[in-house]
Copies of this chain bind each other. A is one copy, B any other.
Amino acid sequence: MRGKFIGEYFKDMTTTNYTATNSSVGIVETQYYTYAERGKEHKLESGDTLGPITLAYETYGELNANKSNAILALHALSGDAHAAGVHKGQDNAGWWDDMIGPGKAFDTNRYFVICSNIIGGCKGSTGPSSINPATGKPYALDFPFITVADMVHAQRHLIDHLGIERLLCVSGGSMGGMQALQWVASYPERVRSAIPIATALKHSPQQIAFNEVVRQSIMADPAWREGNYYEYGQPEKGLSVARMIGHITFMSDQSMEEKFSRRLKSGKFSFGFDPDFEVEGYLHYRGANFVKRFDANSYLYITKAFDYFDLSGKKLIPHGKIIDTRFLVISFKSDWLYPSYQSQEIVRLLKRRHVDATYCELNSTYGHDAFLVEVEEQTTLITHFLDKTFNGYLVVDRYGI
């Protein structure tokens, strides 16, 4: 029923050489594409401009001759371009390694999979921790506001650069799902199909509220220094608390019960304020770990971007427009951060506009994390959906229609 938690991959590896397994894309390398150079800055939705823009990206599998087999995998809040395989000399498999590889949901024997780090991020793409060419220092809060539409606009430049006219599929979970929807809204003619997972047309006030508390937690830390902390180090305490809040919302009541119940770390109450329960220790670990790998300002910018996101009403498909993008919409029963009703809203909107849309709610207990760990059922659904999309596309091409 489930795959592996990210980071747990190597615990159950029995082969000695990762590249030798059939199910991995093996050793991969991050690539970089820079555009919007000086004088050609990119106009953002806010009206501000940004440039030059670098996108970190990885690709897996081979692009076919007519460039019809390209899939864009879209990452969530804290993800990056490293979606599958491993980097040389390192042992952390990509964030969707269970889903991308030979014979997997996004089968690299058949498809060419691309994943790029979003702008605003901190994993190689231009973001608030990047050097501002105007000052020679990190942008910090001088970084312009970015929206999900801006992220997708940047990805479109990368897809142009790779010479791909039309993507076979765009897919991702959570904010990755929002980007998938935004691709359809911005460039419907360039997207053959979309698989938005555990996502929403717009953030509800509860989702905005959680993000705002996360931002306030970071900004309440004096070490944040109004965003100018780069020479001093991260606002560790605030960022750690922010991530702890996040982790509660990523899991479900039931998955926490199954994983931790009320087990104590040391077998008895401490009658003190150090963590007593295993669940507390887990959150501390997750918080402390996050501080080492993610830029606090990026967290602020990205959470704000998806609070602003809203493709409800006629914004996904403008009035009078007909689109032929096929959809597979997936949600998870125990996901209370992006509840199924939000996925059903996407499907309702698509059906009303006569779009070919399939919906499936999976019975996972993993909460929002399920899009990363519920591998088996997602694989069945996605394999079948892509198969139908890909063959249909090829047939059309073959007969020149």
Contact = CB atoms under 8 A, between A and B. Distances in A.
A64 B250 CA distance: 53
Nearest to A279: B205
A245 B216 CA distance: 10
Interface stretch (A2-10, A162-170, A304-312): A304-312
Interface in A225-267: 237-238, 240-241, 244-245, 247-248, 251, 253, 256-257, 259-262
Interface stretch (A70-78, A82-90, A268-276, A381-389): A268-276
A361 interface: no
Size range of the chain A interface in the assembly: 35 or more
Contacts of A35: none
B204 A216 contact: no
A102 interface: no
B208 A279 contact: yes
A80 B130 CA distance: 50
A277 B287 CA distance: 27
A51 interface: no
Given A253-B204, A262-B203, A46 B241 contact: no
Contacts of A46: 269, 271
Contacts of A310: 262
B283 A213 contact: yes
Contacts of A183: none
Interface string A302-343: 001001101000000000000000000000000010010000
Number of copies: 2
A280 B213 CA distance: 8
Contacts of A280: 208-209, 212
Interface in A204-222: 204-206, 208-210, 212-213, 215-217, 219-222
A96 interface: no
A217 to B, nearest CB: 5
Interface string A111-148: 00000000000000000000000000000010001000
A300 interface: yes
A283 B212 contact: yes
A6 to B, nearest CB: 20
A261 B205 contact: yes
A353 interface: no
Contacts of A157: none
B339 A213 contact: no
B262 A241 contact: no
Given A213-B245, A240-B220, A241-B220, A304 B273 contact: yes
A67 interface: no
Contacts of A222: 222
Contact of A216 (B213, B241, B259): B241
Contacts of A276: 307-308
A202 interface: yes
Nearest to A217: B241
A273 B241 contact: no
Nearest to A44: B271
15 contacts: A48-B271, A145-B272, A204-B253, A205-B257, A205-B261, A206-B248, A206-B251, A206-B253, A212-B244, A213-B241, A213-B283, A215-B273, A220-B220, A220-B238, A276-B308
Please provide the 6 A-B residue pairs with the shortest distance between their CB atoms, ordered closest to farther: A220-B237, A205-B279, A145-B271, A205-B256, A205-B260, A46-B271
Interface of A: 46, 48, 141, 145, 202-206, 208-210, 212-213, 215-217, 219-222, 237-238, 240-241, 244-245, 247-248, 251, 253, 256-257, 259-262, 269, 271-273, 275-280, 283-284, 287, 300, 304, 307-308, 310, 336, 339
Given A206-B256, A220-B220, 5 more contacts: A145-B272, A205-B261, A209-B244, A219-B273, A220-B237
